[in-house]
Structure 1
């Protein structure tokens, strides 16, 4: 379905969330347009996983709003979630099933027809270069190959928004690069919008968007180049360091 360019694929507005007395998110707001790779940068404990849990309805948002193509997540969760694909931080493939069985099972959960599952599975496995290993058990694949299969699985129902929560954890430098290259190619070739949560500064490329999340609050949101320019042209890592240092509690407590 075509979406007007002015309608964000994902819009988060004034989102806050508590676990008892602890505020995990505090007035988080940002938007992602179609075809944009946005890195959600934050240290461990920044609130990235809580944010993903709210967007995917693992938690109900307590205040604020989440809209996917203008569809309110709380009022119409099925319509909104149908447009989203998700790769969680922890691996979720069944290692004792084959690659094909994992994908077919996921397609069935989404209510896809057998014909569509077959077509989408063939297309996605060819895209990630693993069509010849469709009948092998997942446990025989490398860590990078498993991540690519998880991305292929998340794309079976042809979503317009892909969420990835720390997807390169445990991968070496070369495998991280391969996964990043693959997801950026999806943005270019399909117009897919991506929210990529990470604590690794180098996973945000120069022409990406970035949302800096720290202690549950958004400190900056926009193009990487803009964030660097506002910090006098320093590297993204230095700009990130300045922002988080300025937001630290008085007294220097971490």
Structure 2
């Protein structure tokens, strides 16, 4: 069995969100949100806390059901072709979902089995991803023995085991020290470029943005701007992303 990181061509759309709205009771969390991410593109979903980033991720991953709008992963409608759509997706949530009492290897073995990977092939994939993240030597350690940065590396390795076309990361560096944050940010950007994976990275931290990234600025459930860094700066008429973010979110910068 052989998997390729991206089964779509280099210019194909990995994620398409169209006219997406969602409410909690009477409170609207997302209001007619729409954007696209191409294969190999690293898109940063930038917004203050409470902007709707986590709600958007919950809809893309089908934790919540969108009653209004459309989401497609690699051309598959997430409602009508759920299994095919989610099979193209790798996710790292803000809150860790690793089993603290299992080893690194046991956590990844379990995830591989969920994706129908077993035996020798699963062990090969686990070794490949852990080695790329400099974590293979720690494969027999329990998760609770690892620091926050190392746990995040395990979660990223787990998300990549089945070689998805789209990687979602929901504020993955929250609570990490600066060196760990930098390592993860650089790794993910290289991953998008070298492996042609589309990335959607939700954050409220300006310094996690690279000049070549696509920016999607979300505020109060609406997209205030979407485009390259240069396009956003030109649109807002300022010199830095920090200033653009402040202008677009009307002083709610965090």
Unpaired stretches in structure 1, ≥5 consecutive residues: 249-254
Q: Determine the C-alpha separation between the residues in 2 that align with 1:130 and 1:51.
A: 31
Greater than 6 Å deviation, 4+ residue runs = none
Q: Determine the C-alpha separation between the residues in 2 that align with 1:157 and 1:68.
A: 15
Q: Secondary structure at the match of 2:249?
A: helix
- Give the drift of 1:4: 4.0
Q: Secondary structure at the match of 1:234?
A: coil
| Residue 9 of structure 1: aligned partner | 14
The superposition leaves residues 52-74 of structure 1 with CA deviations (integer Å, 9 ceiling, x where unpaired) of 00000001111110001111111
1:227 maps to 2:232: yes
1:95 maps to 2:113: no
| Residue 251 of structure 1: aligned partner | none
Q: Secondary structure at the match of 2:190?
A: helix
Count of aligned positions: 247
Between stretches 133-142 and 3-12, larger displacement belongs to 3-12
The superposition leaves residues 149-176 of structure 1 with CA deviations (integer Å, 9 ceiling, x where unpaired) of 1000000111010000010010111111
CA contact (8 A) 1:94 1:102 kept: yes
Between stretches 106-115 and 85-94, larger displacement belongs to 106-115
CA contact (8 A) 1:37 1:193 kept: yes
> What TM-score do the two structures reach when normalised by structure 2?
0.94
CA contact (8 A) 2:40 2:199 kept: yes
1:79 maps to 2:79: no
Give the one of 141, 144, 150 matched to 1:139: 144
Q: Determine the C-alpha separation between the residues in 2 that align with 1:118 and 1:170.
A: 30
Q: Determine the C-alpha separation between the residues in 2 that align with 1:20 and 1:193.
A: 33
| Residue 66 of structure 1: aligned partner | 71
| Residue 3 of structure 2: aligned partner | none
How do 1:122-133 residues align onto structure 2 when only pairs under 5 Å count? 122-133=127-138
Q: Secondary structure at the match of 1:241?
A: helix
- Give the drift of 1:219: 0.6
- Give the drift of 1:6: 4.6
How do 1:106-125 residues align onto structure 2 when only pairs under 5 Å count? 106-125=111-130
- Give the drift of 1:5: 4.4
| Residue 245 of structure 1: aligned partner | 250
- Give the drift of 1:231: 2.2
| Residue 196 of structure 2: aligned partner | 191
- Give the drift of 1:232: 2.3
The superposition leaves residues 110-151 of structure 1 with CA deviations (integer Å, 9 ceiling, x where unpaired) of 221222211110100100001111111111212111101100
Between stretches 108-117 and 60-69, larger displacement belongs to 108-117
